[in-house]
Amino acid sequence: MSDNGNNDAFNSNSIEIHNVMFDFCGVLLELNYRPCLQGHFPQQVVDRLCADESDVYGFFAAEARMDAGEAFADVIKDYRKQYGDDLAETFDYYIEHYGDALPRIIDGMETLLTDLRKAGYGVWGLTNWSGETFHFAFEKFPQLERLLQGTVVSGVEKMHKPNADIFNLALSRFGLDASQTVFFDDTQANVDGAKAVGIKGIRFKNAIDARNDLQRLSVNI
């Protein structure tokens, strides 16, 4: 069993699992600013932008606004006022070249999705992502679009995790029973949001642990 604090997700295996839902960045895809910005902007700026422990230049906050459905034109206008033209140019470049910040599918996840589909399980996506940049994900990794039977994107719906409304929208749109659905996310707040609406939420660490977690729930893969 993976030691990821998800023991409560396995307390009852009496309900058969039919569907598995996945977050994108940090679960299906790696998101990394560095390969997008490296060589285009001062190294000190790139290094600070890529520091996980801080958001000194407001990139995360600005992107979160887009993920919640705000238009890039409005976000960049406010960002420029707060951080100035040079950093606004950096953020603008990042959004325009977003695909370069998606270097790879996380190890083992394409195989896991393939195995789930082959075994007859429903495979779905639910992501906090701007409606203006989400297209990069499927353009760069078309195999994900083929493997996922549908994806709810927060920026398109103007609702976002961990709020209940976006989970309920996904359940309704895809015709899923919450109690028969598992959701993987790398952020605990989003896992808790899934649990709040009756979905079996599991904190994602890696594909091996995810596969083991599913097998603990009697998912036959």
- For 39-61, what is the mean pLDDT? 87
CB 202 within 8 A of CB 213: yes
* Residue 210 burial (CB count, 10 A): 24
Q: Specify the pLDDT at position 75.
A: 98
For residue 217, pLDDT over 60 is answered with yes
For residue 2, pLDDT over 50 is answered with no
pLDDT averaged over every residue in the chain: 93
For residue 10, pLDDT over 70 is answered with no
Structure confidence by residue, pLDDT tens digits, 101-118: 999 999 999 999 999 999
More confident: 221 or 13: 221
pLDDT band at 3 (very low <50, low <70, confident <90, very high): very low
Structure confidence by residue, pLDDT tens digits, 135-190: 999 999 999 999 999 999 999 999 999 999 999 999 999 999 999 999 999 999 99
Q: Specify the pLDDT at position 8.
A: 60
Q: Specify the pLDDT at position 55.
A: 87
Close Cβ partners of 101 (under 8 Å, ≥ 6 residues apart)? 31, 32, 33, 35, 36, 94
Q: Specify the pLDDT at position 176.
A: 98
Q: Specify the pLDDT at position 209.
A: 98
Close Cβ partners of 142 (under 8 Å, ≥ 6 residues apart)? none
CA-nearest of 208, 209, 210, 176 to 194 is 176
Q: Specify the pLDDT at position 133.
A: 98
